[in-house]
A = this chain, B = another copy of it.
């Protein structure tokens, strides 16, 4: 029995709907296991730009800092005319990730047996797939972005005498690479003891350094099998032989692309949770941010169509990593699997002969199963 503080940042579009269901499931956990969760809701993304003039306010950043964990929905919608169009909803994510140093983004992919047929990939190819992508989250081409005009590290559009040109900078320090790579090797120790490092070392200097650091760190983990794979080859092997992977570690943008692709192994983006972890420990566990890997999907927002499972499984990761409640995390995961096994399906994972439900009903059923 414990007291925990969770900042809830639903964001835009379906972010709100799915986060509501994740909170509902956490409440079910609280009452079943006798915990007390205090939820602080705040705005991020387009909603925050419209109401508070920034994609995330300083007050919200401070609120996040004071909590044990952050439950995040999704951001990214066109804001109302009259709003400052220079501020992008995504800025909230970048500020949270960079400002709170969440450098390690964990994206596990383990398709549920009952969903093997719902994927566009053949069930016999999916069989046995259980991998986790460890994505670096605070370096690479994404930053530049936040610090325009920093010399030597530009991300900008500029006018020349031949018209416009645009530049982005991909920078990694040895230290940044080393900490994410060590995280991956540590995770592999508790799994199948295999690390696949993904880079583009035949083209990029940053990948050459990346590979060098991986080889150095690998020497400290003689019990772990290490392989290097080029990002293009990885994009192929992910759907050709997904069950061969255990832990995949890669830089920010490669991780972004590969995990969206990998979501197809689990049949839908609506199924994949993520945890973003840093170095800070709270009283209860590792301070972290938890979000579904899908976006705000404005096209289906407000229609009770979104799949809340990715958000709910993100809440399970929150219980495990930030609150150190593994039994409760497993209870959530088991409840999700039970509802899937009983045949409940949101639209994105619908198959013939299954019971189609909306966002709310799926959340209610999972909460009830807890």
Contacts and interface: CB of A to CB of B under 8 A. Distances in A.
Contacts of A145: 203-205
A236 B264 contact: yes
A170 B144 CA distance: 12
A299 to B, nearest CB: 12
Interface of A: 76, 88, 90, 120-122, 125, 141-142, 144-145, 152-153, 155-157, 160, 162-175, 200, 202-206, 208-210, 231-233, 235-236, 238-240, 253-254, 256-261, 263-264, 269, 295
Contact of A260 (B202, B204, B236): B236
A240 B167 contact: no
B120 A240 contact: yes
Contact of A172 (B162, B166, B171): B166
Contact of A205 (B90, B152, B156): B156
Copies of this chain per assembly: 2
A204 B141 contact: yes
B175 A166 contact: no
Contacts of A253: 200, 203
Contact of A157 (B76, B155, B209, B231): B209
Given A120-B121, A121-B122, A167-B170, A235 B206 contact: no
A308 B261 CA distance: 28
A106 to B, nearest CB: 17
Given A141-B203, A141-B204, A239-B121, A209 B261 contact: no
A90 to B, nearest CB: 5
